[in-house]
Amino acid sequence: MSDQDRDGFLKGIRSLLRALGENPDREGLLKTPDRFLRSLEFLTSGYRADVVSITSCRFSGAAMLDTFRMARSSGFRRSRESLMRSRGDCRSRNG
């Protein structure tokens, strides 16, 4: 996000606070626009993430299709177990 976009976004949040009857210059709300922006950036960060770069494995299309077929035919509990087994040795690179 460019600095210009960020500034516009922060001004918009301050406008929303005013529209709600709040004073965005009040001590308790001074950092709210920045906190709100950071929370949205975090919540939407998955849209920019690459799954392959986050995990250390790739799922083949055929293996995933077989897993979902098993899941559909065997109910929720068994599907959860089979999905866990299908992950094999995949580990998150982020911990």
What are the residue boundaries of the structural domains of the chain, listed by start?
3-47, 51-86
Beta-bridge partner residues of 55: 92
The overall average pLDDT reported for the chain is 76
Gap between the Cα atoms of 36 and 9, Å rounded: 10
pLDDT at position 55, please?
Answer: 66
Using alpha carbons, select from 3, 6, 94, 5 the residue that is nearest to residue 53: 94
Q: Between 40 and 56, name the one with better pLDDT.
A: 40
Q: For residue 35, how many C-alpha atoms fall within 13 Å in the half-sphere facing its CB?
A: 6
pTM for the whole thing?
Answer: 0.52
CATH code of domain 3-47: 1.10.286.10
In DSSP terms, which residues pair with 8 in a beta bridge?
A: none
Contact (CB, 8 A) for 71 and 82: yes
Predicted pLDDT at 26: 95
pLDDT one-digit tens code per residue, 49-66? 777 676 655 555 566 666
As a whole number of angstroms, the distance between CA 69 and CA 78 comes to 12
Report the share of the chain in percent with pLDDT over 70.
Answer: 54
Residue 48 confidence (pLDDT): 82
